[in-house]
Amino acid sequence: SLGRVDVDHVITRKMQLIAEAEQLKPAFMKEVDSHFTEFVNTLVAKSALLDSSSSASLFPASCTEKELHKAKTLRAPPEHGKIFTARRSLLDELFEVSHIRTIYHMFIALLIVFILSTLLVDFIDEGRLVLGFDLLVYVFGKFPVVFCTWLCMFCATVIVPYHLFAWWAQGYCSSSHRVIHSFFYGMLFTLSGLGFGPTYVAVSYALPPASRFIVILEQVRLVMKGHSFVRENVPRVFSSVKDKSSTVPIPRISQYLYFLFAPTLIYRDNYPRNPTIRWGYVATKFAQVLGSLFYAYYIFVRLCIPQFRNSSQETFNLRGLVLCIFNSILPGVLILFLVFFAFLHCWLNAFAEMLRFADRMFYKDWWNSTSYANYYRTWNVVVHDWLYYYAYRDFLWFFGKKFKAAAMLSVFTVSAAVHEYVLSVCFGYFYPVMFCLFMCFGMVFNFILNDRRKGPIWNVIMWTSLFLGQGVIICLYSQEWYARQYCPMENLTFLDHLKPRSWSCHTKM
């Protein structure tokens, strides 16, 4: 009324429209596959009519253009938080189109070529077929230690955050010194977190790289889960105390356990659920994860190890560095695609299906991005939502909405620091390539290649810079890895841990 939009009504209506659209998507994709040209021509005419009629019904004529734009945005207003709704993953929909599915078949064909190439080269060199997977056995070694460490981390995450919150919530309602009470439990929560226990296990037991990745990434995931659980439930306790409610809003332990396994980092008491579990779909996704693992193995065996094993024995110079970066672009991009497909699509969808978790928007169409700002929002929606609601938005709530640039800088800093922490522990050396790329090039590109860049040329620029970045990462980290194998040092000082070994290794050989 009076030219104002009822935001709650608009959001509810939009969620209903999204749910209805999700039910129509399979038929839509099949129709596109069979009658692409004719369907699109008809869709253009119908969408214009539908858009005008829906806009007239949802918004009053007196609504200003600025308010209309805000109401149409996909993200709900901050006070609503993230809204979960039933929807499929984008690749599941795209693979129903034969033209897109052919691209998937091309990657499978490339894997077959890698396998044949490896087998033929081994047969020519050795005179027999060598079917060993020594690299996979090595990088995933010491699995019993990994499993015991994960089990301890998971039990700690189940016990500590939930019970500390329950004790705090029960005591907060009756406490006469609520600030001191909250500060005490806040300190307990901070000190009793996962801490550096997993890091100590990874380093002291000399876990191989892939095993370290499992431990450290699980550590980061569980810390983010615990923070979300507390962050989402503390305001509910405040509200119940303010309303003088007789009940304390403490979630059930079963709800918390479901959240720990659910493929999301945003806590809710309940999520949209599917009616059944498609076990064939689960088996297919896990098989694709296994296939991606072998794909990565052959990429390293055929494209990375021969190159870096030989280049690490040559004198370090600018020409060699440039050639190394450009020769690393192909394996770097393939590894990027495999990480996205295996984890963000297959792994998360498999767990979502087993848990009947209906909201499968783990990523968006990041490959169509014309700006790095959009790429960061769409590449990994699961992590981006956590950073947006608990880092960016809470920063603005604490310091004020005038500090949006500082809030964005803080998000970049947190993300860069966590990425560098994971890589440093997993590789066993400190070489801040990822941190520099995030804080320097990533942040600069975020402002230069912003959302105002809409032309196709900007998508080309985005992909070009992404290719070069992957080449830099694969090249520099691989050089450092082999340098530390060829040039071991005894009685290391603190500076020796910080100084890249690849800069001086060749002069000592």
Handedness of CA 8, 13, 16, 21 (dihedral sign): negative
Single-letter residue type at 238: F
| Residues whose CB is less than 8 angstroms from the CB of residue 440 and which lie 6 or more positions away in sequence, other chains included | none
Residue 372, classified by CB atoms within 10 Å of its CB into exposed (0-12), middle (13-18) or buried (19+), is: buried
Quick check: helix, strand or coil at residue 317?
coil
Task: Tell me the CB-side half-sphere exposure of residue 258, using CA atoms within 13 A.
Answer: 17
Q: Are 85 and 15 in contact (CB under 8 A)?
A: yes
Q: Determine the Cα–Cα distance for residues 375 and 367; give it in Å rounded to an integer.
A: 8
Q: Residues 348-370, buried b or exposed e (16+ Cβ, 10 A)?
A: bbbbbbbbebbbbbbbbebbebb
The alpha carbon of 139 is separated from its chain's Cα centroid by a whole number of angstroms, namely 22
Q: Residues 267-280, buried b or exposed e (16+ Cβ, 10 A)?
A: bbeebbeeeeeeee
Angle between helix axes 209-242 and 253-261 (nearest 10 degrees) is 140
Annotated catalytic residue, options 80, 181, 384, 419: 419
Q: Is 177 a catalytic residue?
A: no
To 5 degrees, how large is the angle CA 289–CA 293–CA 299? 140
User: Which of these, 235, 233, 261, 268, lies nearest to 157 by C-alpha position?
Assistant: 261
Q: Are 298 and 115 in contact (CB under 8 A)?
A: yes
Q: Are 243 and 175 in contact (CB under 8 A)?
A: no
Residues forming the active site: 419
